[in-house]
Amino acid sequence: MAITPQANPKPVTGSKFSDSDATLKKSFTQPGSAVLLLVIAVIASAAYWFASQQPAQQPLALDALTNPDSDLLQQRINDKLFGETLVDVPGIGADIDNTIDPAAMGAKLAGLTKNVTTQNLPTADELQQFYQRNKANYRNPSKFWLTVVTYTTAKHGGQAFQQAEQALEKALEKALEINQSPLPGLPKGDLTDHYGGILTSELETIYGQGFVDNLMQVTIEATIQATSQTAESSSSNQLPCWYGPISSPQGANLICVDNVVWGDYPALESIQDQVINDWRFAVSQ
């Protein structure tokens, strides 16, 4: 079979782009293409700006959920545990313990006392006798006019009591020399406090129960001693001045009592529950 020779192909000259490429290139060179490119650039810029703002907001949300003081975190925990937002019940909260019923507290105290002591009740005579024997424990606060000179442990340490004793001895020696009583002048201490009509309950807050007990005891003894003497000798001040040392949280104290108004004794009926509790403790010992 004879083979027909093909015609020589035309040589390719000029650009290597196809007709479709040429058409696309032509379309981008038209005026409408510039507007399209501008719109694409604006959209891309807006997307980049929005994406750049997201990381700045994320730490705030994360901090709100990880901060122990965050209300949002607490709300999420409540929702997880209870399925709903908790609402405080009226009358129950941080101040619930501040509401105290004296009658209820007294009843609880009486019940506890019976549990740790005895279930028995005193007769009327036993209760009256117990009250009379311990009447001093139930006296209402007394009122004192006195001066307190303090030798502080902050300055003298363990030598505060000794310093007060030495100051009192010097004052006594001076009083004997001039034959004067009570002691003239004031001992020189670290603190000097003058009280006019202060209640023993207030003194207890400042100096402690031991100080008040000692003050009451020495003043009562001085008063009893004064009443047993003649009218001539009792005309002078027979209250303790100066006396001590008496220990307190501040240190060692010397006292001079100018006057005292004793507190009265309450009626047994008004403090009967308290006296019964004390009686139960006493008989259980």
Binned at pLDDT 50, 70 and 90, residue 122 comes out as confident
pLDDT of residue 93: 47
pLDDT of residue 175: 66
Burial of 117 (0-12, 13-18, 19+ CB in 10 A): middle
Given a cut of 70, is residue 125 above it in pLDDT? yes
Compute the distance between CA of residue 112 and CA of residue 118 in angstroms, rounded to an integer: 10
Average pLDDT over every residue of 241-248: 91
Compute the distance between CA of residue 203 and CA of residue 255 in angstroms, rounded to an integer: 12
Find out if CATH 1.10.10 is the number for domain 141-263: no
Average pLDDT over every residue of 10-27: 49
pLDDT of residue 250: 93
- Backbone dihedral region of 244: left (phi > 0), alpha (psi from -120 to 50 degrees) or beta? left
Given a cut of 80, is residue 237 above it in pLDDT? no
Q: What token pair was written down for 75?
A: 């709300």
Average pLDDT over every residue of 80-87: 56
- By the 8 A CB rule, do 43 and 52 touch? no
Average pLDDT over every residue of 134-154: 92
pLDDT of residue 165: 92
pLDDT of residue 91: 44
DSSP-assigned letters across all residues of 243-266 = EEEEEETTEEEEEEEEEEEPPPPP
Higher pLDDT, 10 or 123: 123
Please tell me the least confidently modeled range out of 82-96, 163-177, 251-265.
82-96
Strands (E), the chain: 143-152, 191-199, 241-248, 251-261
In order of 5, 44, 214, 216, 231, the CA distances from 204 in angstroms are 135, 81, 11, 11, 34
Burial state string for 75-113 with b = 16 or more CB within 10 A and e = fewer than 16: eeeeeeeeeeeeeeeeeeeeeeeeeeeeeeeeeeeeeeb
- Locus of tokens 């010992």: 285
Highest mean pLDDT among 49-58, 167-176, 208-217, 232-241: 208-217
Those residues with Cβ within 8 angstroms of residue 168's Cβ, 6 or more apart along the chain or in another chain: 187, 242, 244, 245, 254
pLDDT of residue 96: 42
Binned at pLDDT 50, 70 and 90, residue 58 comes out as very low
pLDDT of residue 145: 96
Given a cut of 70, is residue 161 above it in pLDDT? yes
pLDDT of residue 164: 92
Binned at pLDDT 50, 70 and 90, residue 98 comes out as very low
Those residues with Cβ within 8 angstroms of residue 161's Cβ, 6 or more apart along the chain or in another chain: 151, 245, 247, 251, 252
pTM of model > 0.85: no
Q: What percent of the chain has pLDDT over 90?
A: 29
pLDDT of residue 235: 45
Average pLDDT over every residue of 208-234: 80
Domain ranges of the chain: 141-263
Beta-carbon count within 10 A of 204 CB: 16
Average pLDDT over every residue of 95-112: 52
pLDDT of residue 24: 47
- By the 8 A CB rule, do 237 and 182 touch? yes
Strands (E), 60-182: 143-152
End-to-end CA distance of the chain: 143
φ, ψ (nearest 5 deg) of residue 46: -65, -40
From the list 144, 191, 194, 187, the residue with the least C-alpha distance to 169 is 187
Q: What percent of the chain has pLDDT over 70?
A: 55
Those residues with Cβ within 8 angstroms of residue 247's Cβ, 6 or more apart along the chain or in another chain: 161, 210, 211, 253
Average pLDDT over every residue of 143-168: 92
